[in-house]
Amino acid sequence: MWLIRKKVMMMIMEASKDSYPKEFGAFLRAHDNIIYEIALLPGTIQGNVHVIFPMYALPLDFTYVGSVHSHPSGVTLPSDEDLHMFSNTGPVHIIVGYPYNMENYSAYDRKGNPIRLEVI
């Protein structure tokens, strides 16, 4: 199971609101399964359809554990592109959905299986 600091989740929701109707995307940093920070990487493109992550910019750093992005549709299920990206970028991935309240999120492992993520 993964944990995320409340202020980080609030930051994600705020950034997702700011980006609406586009998607917001960032990487997640964690220590001992607790996500404590989001990392915006230069070159991340906020698309109307999809965020494009600059994989070349992902540091070789074990604190980078996965990704977060928003779904303006409100549906927090991963797309085929999401599943491909998950498999390349770490063990935990969060999708948050419109209207970006603190409850509308889902977490997945690198294969796209739902996993538990608790806000602490």
Tell me phi and psi for residue 18, to 5 degrees. Answer: -60, -35
Pairing of strands 25-31, 105-108: unpaired
Task: Closer to Zn ion by CB, 34 or 58: give it.
Answer: 58
Q: Which residues bind Zn ion (CB under 5 A)?
A: 79, 82
The DSSP secondary structure of 36-58, one letter per residue, reads EEEEPPTT-B--SS--B--GGG-
Taking the complex as a whole, the smallest distance from the CB of residue 82 to Zn ion amounts, in Å, to 4
The neighbour count for residue 7, using CB atoms within 10 Å, is: 11
Least CB distance to Zn ion at residue 71 (A): 6
Closer residue to Zn ion in complex, CB, 31/40: 40
Least spacing, CB of residue 32 vs Zn ion, in Å: 27
Report the residue number, 33 or 73, with the smaller CB distance to Zn ion: 73
